[in-house]
Structure formats: structure tokens, C-alpha cells
Amino acid sequence: MLTAAAMTTSMMVPEIAQAADGVTPSLKNFLLSIAAGGVVLVAIIGAIIGVSNFDPVKRS
């Protein structure tokens, strides 16, 4: 989501948008892989929180 906001902002500012034309395919793939890793990390954290709320540990 942060990457999408940064891309939207960069498209609105003309100087940055012009510089964005020089993004190489490898840089684009690198940035997309970072975004995909963030999505996976959020999914893992969400699953951990969901399981911990669903099955709490009861200690006596």
C-alpha cells in the first residue's frame, strides 16, 4: 500500500514522473518483489494473530 501511494505521488509530480521513465526492468522487479514480500509478511502476521485469538492458552 505504501508503494502504491509512493507511485501515485511520483506520477503527480512532473519532475519525478519524468525520472520514473528510466526505471529498468530489474529495478521494477526488485521493487515488486519487496512489495510481494511485504504482502506475505502481513499475511503471516495476520495468521499468527488470528490463531492466537482463536485458540488462547489457559494457564492455571
Domain assignments of the chain as residue spans, ordered by start: 1-54
Q: How confident is the model at residue 7 (pLDDT cuts 50, 70, 90)?
A: low
Q: Give residue 8's Cα distance to chain centre.
A: 14
pLDDT, position 50: 94
Q: pTM here?
A: 0.54
20-46 pLDDT per residue, tens: 567 888 988 999 999 999 999 999 999
Cα 34 to Cα 47: distance, rounded to the nearest angstrom: 20
Using the CB atoms, write b or e for 14-30: b if 16+ within 10 Å: eeeeeeeeeeeeeeeee
- CA neighbor of 4 nearest in space, from 26, 31, 41, 25: 31
